[in-house]
Every structure is written in C-alpha cells, then in structure tokens.
A and B are shown apart, each in its own frame.
Chain A
C-alpha cells in the first residue's frame, strides 16, 4: 500500500509522468530522457531520483552509460492496487446482497 501510494505521489508531477511514459517504450539514458523536456538537466536528475525512490524506475549501468528503465517492483504496486479494488468491490457486493435478501424476507413475511 505504501509503495503504491509513493508511486502515485511520485506520478503526481506532470514532468515525472512524462519521464515515466517515455520509459514505458524502452530504457533510456539521461540525455535521451531530458531531450524534449522543458526543464533543466539538474531538474531532470531530481525527478529521476524521486521516481527511483518510489521504485517506479531503476538505474542500470551499461558500459560507462547510465540507463534508466521501469522497475519490476512496480508490479507489486499494481497488485496492491488490485487488492484495494477487490476490497471495495466485495464490500459493495456484500452490502447489496444483504440489502436485497432483507427486502425479500420483508416481502415474504407480509
């Protein structure tokens, strides 16, 4: 749940969302990430740091190049999200089934 929240918070920033969406296509070096973004290089580095801390992306070193890619741990965040989804769904279902049952009983007692 925390990872999911951190991830959502990290993605609350439009620049970070743009970076994240770029990395969905393929792993990229910092230069490639910064290309086309309307922010300074230090700002990009700062955004990358936040995304990395939220485990949304990870850093790989290939040769002397630093490459960023999506982090598999993100899948865990999605599990948490689905878990929350089904919690909500099951609670709704339970209440509805009990309400309908109670109404049926009321009618048949009349």
Chain B
C-alpha cells in the first residue's frame, strides 16, 4: 500500500465504491475521514473543508469559530482528479511560500471498484535550499503534534 522515497509519499489502493462516491467522500466528507489526532490550529477542529473549484480554499474550522488555511485547490476535476496545495508549516499555519502538492487520482476499475492513486509530492521543499527556515517549520510541526499526543 505504500512507497517512501525522498521527495514524495505514495499510496495506491482500491475502494469498493463507485468513482463518483469515492470522489465525493474524499472532497465533501473530508471532515469525516481526516485524522483528528493531527488537528490544525489552536483550538479543536470542528470541520475541514475543500471548496469545490479551482483556486478554492482548503481550510479547517475550529471550536472558537476561527478558520485556518491548509492550502488551496489546484485542480478540481470530478470524479477523476483532485490536486491540493498543502502549505502547512510552523504551528500548523499556512505559508504561501511553501507549496507541496497532494495529488489524488480516482480511476474507475469496475462499476463499484475505484483505484486510488495518492501522492504527496515535493516533500524535498520541506528540507532544501531554505534549509534552516524550512527545517524549523517542519520541526515546529512535529513538536506541536508531539505535544498534542502527550496531552491526549
């Protein structure tokens, strides 16, 4: 189910659902499958939303009413393809200078079988040229996640 290399994370698997269901669940119900242990922002996450169009926002809403951007929609092509820009960095905030791509392909293999090809690309950007700065961002994220795990 997984491959790790230096610049991307890939996942490929099939889902016993139509291509339309798979795409809709992925985009419209992200709220229900996004792991809550990795919540974003300073207070509890209440929803995570992908706006259904190109350049749409990808953000999360929180218990205190605030919203934080995770990135934006690069490609919205129902029911085949979704490309999101993941721009989360220090303290789980959005950094416009950081763009890593989350590409999800939905391939109909049968009436109720959909192959998912998932790739989180450009991860080298988290660790190259602007090394120190990016690394600090990355580590802030780890530390925050770690602290949250401790608090649970």
Which chain A residues have a beta carbon within 8 Å of chain B's beta carbons? 7-8, 11-12, 17, 20-21, 24, 70, 72, 74-75, 77-83, 85-90, 92-98, 100-102, 104-105
Q: Quick check: is B44 within 8 A (CB to CB) of the other chain?
A: no
Interface residues of B (CB under 8 A from A): 1-2, 4, 6, 9, 11, 13, 15-18, 21-22, 25-26, 29, 32-35, 37-38, 112, 114, 116, 118, 120, 123, 126-127, 131-132, 135-136, 138-143, 145-146, 149-150
* 8 Å CB contact of A11 from B11, B114, B143: B143
Asked whether B142 lies within 8 Å of A7 as measured between CB atoms, the reply is yes
Closest residue of chain B to A78 (Cβ to Cβ) is B138
Residues of A within 8 A of B123 (CB): 79, 82
Contact B142 A77 (CB under 8 A): yes
Interface of chain B: mostly helix, strand, loop or mixed? helix
- Known pairs A72-B127, A97-B17, A101-B21. 13 more at Cβ < 8 A? A21-B143, A24-B136, A78-B138, A78-B142, A80-B4, A87-B2, A89-B33, A90-B13, A97-B15, A98-B15, A100-B21, A101-B15, A105-B112
Q: What is the minimal beta-carbon distance from A93 to any residue of chain B, in angstroms?
A: 4
How distant is the Cα of A23 from the Cα of B2 in the complex, in angstroms? Answer: 33
Contact: A24 with B35, CB < 8 Å? no
Most buried by B among A7, A86, A97: A97
Report the separation of the CA atoms of residues A105 and B15 in the bound assembly, to the nearest whole angstrom.
15
* Closest A residue, CB atoms, query B14: A94
Residues of A with C-beta under 8 A to B132:
70
Contact residue among B1, B2, B13, B35 (Cβ-Cβ distance under 8 Å from A92): B35
Contacts of B34 in A (CB 8 A): 89, 92
